Amino acid sequence: MTHILRIETSIKGEASVSRKLTDRVVSRLTASHAGATVTTRDLAPGVPQIDGSWMSAVYTPAGSRTPDQAKIAGYSDALLDEVKAADVLVIALPVYNFGLPAQLKSWIDHLARKGETFNYTETGPVGLLKNKRAIVALSSDGTKMGSEIDFASGYLRHMLGFFGITDVEFVAADQMVFDPEATLTRAEAEIDRLAA
């Protein structure tokens, strides 16, 4: 059975283009995979930034953590467990100021844990989250995906690959400010052509 993890990041709520795109992606996947399950993690309200307390908490053995460490590590572990349990990640990527939303960057930071999502070897880093697919729904007002001012899509693709997720597809409603209706229609058509 296919398990889908949907990651929402837009602060625009129902007006969000990236949410419209992830709605369509998830609908397409669930229609094509009988019995598929979906977990949604909405990061819009914010994700705590990692800091020294986080590092101390997640790298302290569970049985030796203080109550504060257990709370910090528990939240981070829940994010990690959701990704490990997923077969497909559907990630909303609205481009804010040419980059990722801060809450999406913080989510990635929580996942970047040696021994959990990657290891270093003599030949370089090796991602540990194998055999997963990611579909990223990118939206932007003025930034063209893949252009020299797009610091979001390349970073996200790199980090997913660093974690071992190399089957990554993007659907883009980029440069919405110029022709929003045609741009959204084109992105929806890209979704409809995705291999489910």
Question: Is 10 labeled as ligand-binding?
Answer: yes
The helix/strand/coil state of 13 is helix
Question: How buried is 177 (Cβ within 10 angstroms: 0-12 exposed, 13-18 middle, 19+ buried)?
Answer: exposed
3-state secondary structure 133-180: EEEEEEECCCCCCCCCCCCCHHHHHHHHHHCCCCEEEEEEECCCCCCH
Question: Is 177 labeled as ligand-binding?
Answer: no
Question: Is 17 labeled as ligand-binding?
Answer: yes
23/40 Cα distance (integer angstroms): 11
**Helix residue ranges per DSSP H, the chain:** 17-32, 52-58, 67-85, 102-111, 153-162, 180-192
Question: Is 38 labeled as ligand-binding?
Answer: no
- The residue assigned the tokens 């070897």 is 121
Using alpha carbons only, how large is the chain's radius of gyration in Å?
Answer: 17
Binding residues: 10, 16-18
Binding residues for FMN: 10, 16-18
